[in-house]
């Protein structure tokens, strides 16, 4: 799997979700929970009929850090689905590497 800005990787949640969505869209599989096997392991993707994708799988801490610029100010969350609360007061901020969100 090739990820822009990262290079070769053995697993990708974004890729897993995209593959499941494409398989559902083309009629290969129904909506629901599907195991996606990649070189780096297995992730499960749950795709609802409203096209909401939820990724399930193991996690491990790889670093610690501090988010700059108040990105989590006022108790805002990074766009949960479905919305857990009224976050209309949240201010959207761009994040990414040098040069903006596209890195």
Q: Which residues of 71-103 are buried (b: 16+ CB within 10 A; e: fewer)?
A: eeeeebeeeeeeeeeeeeebeeeeeeeeeeeee
Name the residue ranges covered by the structural domains of the chain.
Answer: 2-58+68-75
The pTM of the full predicted model, rounded to 2 decimals, is 0.60
Which architecture characterizes domain 2-58+68-75 according to CATH? Roll (3.10)
| DSSP at 10 | S
Q: Higher-confidence residue: 11 or 20? A: 20
Residue 24 pLDDT level (bands cut at 50, 70, 90): very high
Using the predicted structure, report yes or no on whether residue 84 has a pLDDT greater than 50. no
CA 4 to chain centre: 15
Residue 39 pLDDT level (bands cut at 50, 70, 90): very high
Instruction: Return the structure tokens found at 9.
Output: 């990787």
Backbone angles phi, psi at 35, to 5 degrees: -85, 130
């Amino acid at each position: 799997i090739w990820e822009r800005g990262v290079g070769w990787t053995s697993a990708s949640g974004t890729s897993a979700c995209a593959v499941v969505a494409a398989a559902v869209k083309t009629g290969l599989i129904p909506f629901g929970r599907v195991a996606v096997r990649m070189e780096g392991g297995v992730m499960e993707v749950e795709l609802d009929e409203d096209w909401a994708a939820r990724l399930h799988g193991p996690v491990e801490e790889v670093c610690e850090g501090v988010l700059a610029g108040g990105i989590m100010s006022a108790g805002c969350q990074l766009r949960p689905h479905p919305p857990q609360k009224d976050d209309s007061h949240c201010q959207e901020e761009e994040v990414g590497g040098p040069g903006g969100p596209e890195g």
